[in-house]
Structure 1
Amino acid sequence: MDVKTVVDLVKEGLGIRTNVRDGFITAIVNGVIKELEDEKGLALDPANPSHLIFCVDYAVWRYKSRDEGRHMPRHLQYRLHNLIIHVGGKRP
């Protein structure tokens, strides 16, 4: 997964136009990708737009909820479960 592309899309989703938060957002994106691959067992395909957008949406939620400790929204849970069922363990 191209981290720069994900970071750019996360910034768009958050309405961030400066580079001031890039380090923090990049750390979140790297953490999300690592979690999905290592902990959830997903084989992310960088050419698959649904994988890309899920990473973006997950990172946006992580950024927004960093101080609140909220549970993952249902739509993200649903999409994550579908990814695990469809691509878990497969290598692109």
Structure 2
Amino acid sequence: MDVDLILSLTKDRLGIRTAIRDTYLAAIVAGVVQELTVEKGIKLDPDDASHLIFCVDLATWRYQSRDSIGAMPRHLQYRLHNLIISAGGAAT
């Protein structure tokens, strides 16, 4: 996955126009991609727009909910489960 593109789209979604939070956001984006590929076993396709947008949405939620203890929103859980099933999640 193109981490720079995910970072750029995440910043656009959050309305951030400066580079002041890039280090923090880049760490979140890298963590999201690593979690999906390594921990969840999802084979992310860089040419699949739904994979790209899911990474953006998950990174955005992680950034916005950094101080909350709430669970992942249902729509993200649903999309994650679909990715695990359709994109070849690891069988455990």
How far residue 88 of structure 1 moved from its aligned partner, in angstroms, is: 1.9
Alignment RMSD (CA, Å): 1.1
Q: Which secondary structure does the structure 2 equivalent of 1:41 belong to?
A: coil
Equivalent residue runs for 1:19-58 within 5 Å: 19-58=19-58
How many residue pairs get matched? 90
Question: Could you state the TM-score of these two structures normalised by the residue count of structure 2?
Answer: 0.94
How far residue 89 of structure 1 moved from its aligned partner, in angstroms, is: 4.3
Query: Residue by residue, what CA displacement relative to the aligned partner does 1:20-72 show, whole Å, maximum 9, x if unpaired?
Result: 00000000000000000011110000010000000000000000001112200
- Could you list the runs of 4 or more consecutive aligned residues of structure 1 that deviate by over 2 angstroms after TM superposition? none
Pair 1:7 & 2:7 matched: yes
Task: Name structure 1 gaps, 5 residues minimum.
Answer: none
What residue number does 2:18 align with?
Answer: 18
What residue number does 2:79 align with?
Answer: 79
Task: Give the Cα–Cα distance (whole angstroms) in 2 for the partners of residues 56 and 89 of structure 1.
Answer: 19
Q: Percent identity?
A: 62
Question: Could you state the TM-score of these two structures normalised by the residue count of structure 1?
Answer: 0.94
